[in-house]
Amino acid sequence: MDLIKKAYEISERIKKEDEFLIVTHIDADGITSGAIAFETLSRIGKDAKIIFLKQLDEKAAEKIADENRFVWLTDLGSGNISLLLRRKLEFVISDHHVPEMTYKWQLNPHDFGYDGSYDLSGSTTTYLVSRCLGLNYDLSPLAIVGAVGDLQDSREAKLVGLNRFVLEEAIKYGYLNAIKDLRFFGKQTRPVYKMLEYTFDPYLPGISGNEKGAIEFLSSLGVEVKREDWVRWIDLSREEKRKVVSGIVRVCMEAGYSYELIKKIVGETYVLLEEEEGTELRDAMEYSTLLNATARYGFEEVGLRVCLGDRDKHFRKARALLQEHRRNLSAGIKLVEEMGIEELEFVQYFHAKSAIPETIVGIVAGMSYSIASKNKPIVAFAYSEEGVKVSARATKELVERGVHLASAVREAAEAVGGSGGGHSIAAGATIPRGKEEEFIQLLNKIVGLQLKR
């Protein structure tokens, strides 16, 4: 396979260097990618430092150049190759975002005809390089956590493409199990009623954000909320789980949700066999959300240390950040409900200003599909230090109809003096304040042209 051959070539290039700077993204996929690269280099006796970036721009490139080390970019870099070359940096890339151009020392699924939104994440791409540098099969669960955190399993309710190659390797060597189960956050750690109360994707009318409603829903099904202790999903019998799933499906049908959405309520979930049952680290979805919680609030180093094995101080800190993260997401989706979503002909949007942190507004945008039109991409604005953060999300159906958010957002952002990129189904940008209206009108026009092709 040409992609695996390229991974081997990059691994050979890495072996020639001694001092590394790992540069990675500030989300679950980025943290796991960085952790895999860091641990891999450590195992082969290389000296490595790691930095986390929200975005790769001129200022960040200058900071990287000042380190005077060989650079390994993970989960970013492909969209900024010319910027890095202008700085005369020596670097390799393991990324899955749409590449700006071809580059000899880049491993990117798009260069080989794969889709970086579903076939490989930053972490699984980085793992493919790692496995060429030693017997690093034990890092495969981290790669799966990153892929799940990047929603690579969202289209089929399971991992597909080359992600599946990594998954099968993790299963083969006894690090992970793939099981069919409810695809909600909190199965390992939360009382069932709390799991349901904090489920907003999909939004469950009368249950999401409603503790009393969640308890009454379970009681109506004859499922106990408390025995000796609060009952978690993993404590329920198979019959009790079946009742709850059937009840959730009924709620979704009554809310008019599509068959496509409803069938993804149950799908493939991933259990990390070497992690303690009942903790966030046992389930790939919960693990990835824990990591996102550290990254979104400026504590990427905490997430990195958890990935590298810390189950004490940093794990406790990560859990505390996770609680704050879930509260903020809950507040964010309620705010969107209250403010409403503006609709144009081809896109829809909301402006959170400073009410939703710009680091989580993209997550809130994706969750907002539960209360918004499924027939248009959704765009969220939030103020940031650099100007205005733009986060755009689409559905699989929209992508199949021709929507490509990465190219649309990049074009609209550059036209108003900003920059952007990403994937066909999810993209982001930073634009100057005051340019939001011009940007959204341009984006509306571009998406309209994409749909009419």
What percentage of the chain exceeds 70 in pLDDT?
A: 100
Task: Express each pLDDT in 204-221 by its tens digit.
Answer: 889 987 899 999 999 999
Cβ atoms of residues 295 and 30 within 8 Å: yes
Cα–Cα distance, 378 to 42 (Å, whole number) = 42
Domain ranges of the chain: 1-136, 340-451
What pLDDT band is residue 374 in, cutting at 50, 70 and 90? confident
- Among 79, 80, 76, CA closest to 53: 76
Q: Which amino acid is at 381?
A: F
The three-state secondary structure class of 39 is helix
Question: What is the pairing mode between strands 91-94 and 70-74?
Answer: parallel
pLDDT score recorded for residue 49: 97
pLDDT recorded at residue 142: 98
- 331: CB partners within 8 A, 6+ apart: none
Query: Which tokens in the block code for residue 344?
Result: 């144009």
CATH topology of domain 340-451: Diaminopimelate Epimerase; Chain A, domain 1 (3.10.310)
CB atoms within 10 A of CB 213: 17
Output the CA–CA distances (angstroms, integers) from residue 228 to 192, 225, 231, 235, in the order listed.
Answer: 14, 10, 8, 12
Buried b (16+ CB within 10 A) or exposed e, 112-142: bebbbbbbbbbbbbbbbbbbbbeebbebbbb
pLDDT of residue 176 exceeding 90 = yes
| pLDDT at residue 153, as a whole number | 94
State whether residue 251 is helix, strand or coil. helix
Q: Which amino acid is it at 55? A: Q
pLDDT tens readout for residues 65-115: 999 999 999 999 999 999 999 999 999 999 999 899 999 999 999 999 999
Strands (E), 353-400: 378-384, 387-393
Q: Write down the pTM of the prediction.
A: 0.84
CB 326 within 8 A of CB 354: no
Q: What is the CATH code of the structural domain delimited by 1-136?
A: 3.90.1640.30
Distance CA 27, CA 52 (A): 9
Mean pLDDT of all residues in 27-40:
97
> CA–CA separation, 453 vs 446, rounded Å?
11
